[in-house]
Amino acid sequence: MVCDDDQELLRLFQLALEPIYDVLPVSSGKACLDKYNEEKNKGNKIDVLLLDYRLGDMTGDDVACKIRDLDGTNTILISAYDLETDVISQLRTRNCIVGMVSKPISINLLKEIVKGAVK
């Protein structure tokens, strides 16, 4: 699953990953939580969530921790902003995220990160 409120980036990530993975694109925190619940209720497993930090309706750390509470997945936070090291550390300690990547991100690096997070 990829969650980013920037439609162009969302489409770019989707196009880059679709040849290898099934990709569920969503463009808001609420849509991410709803889709995650929907897939979970269908018995489908989401292996990795690429999650933008600044979404229009909520922040990525809120979404990541709510996903964790739903039995979670490997969530990788993506941000164009410099986030405080303490914030990232706390999210890792609480098992809300498995990693953090700064934008801009190369497509090759994106693929490697997803590959490393898929279990």
User: pLDDT of 67-80, one tens digit each?
Assistant: 999 988 999 999 88
| Secondary structure class of 101 (helix, strand, coil) | strand
CA distance 72 to 20: 22
Contact 59, 51 (CB under 8 A): no
Structure confidence at residue 91 (pLDDT): 93
| Count of alpha carbons within 13 angstroms of residue 70, beta-carbon side | 21
* Helix intervals (H) in 1-119: 7-17, 29-41, 60-69, 85-93, 107-117
CA distance 54 to 117: 22
Predicted confidence (pLDDT) per residue in 18-45, tens digit: 999 999 999 999 999 999 999 999 999 9
Q: Name the more confident of 83 and 63.
A: 63
Q: Helix, strand, coil % (nearest 5) of the chain?
A: 45, 20, 35
Q: Name the more confident of 119 and 26.
A: 26
Predicted confidence (pLDDT) per residue in 91-116, tens digit: 999 999 999 998 889 999 999 999 99
Structure tokens at 57: 């309706």
Structure confidence at residue 46 (pLDDT): 95
Quote the radius of gyration of the chain (alpha carbons, Å): 13
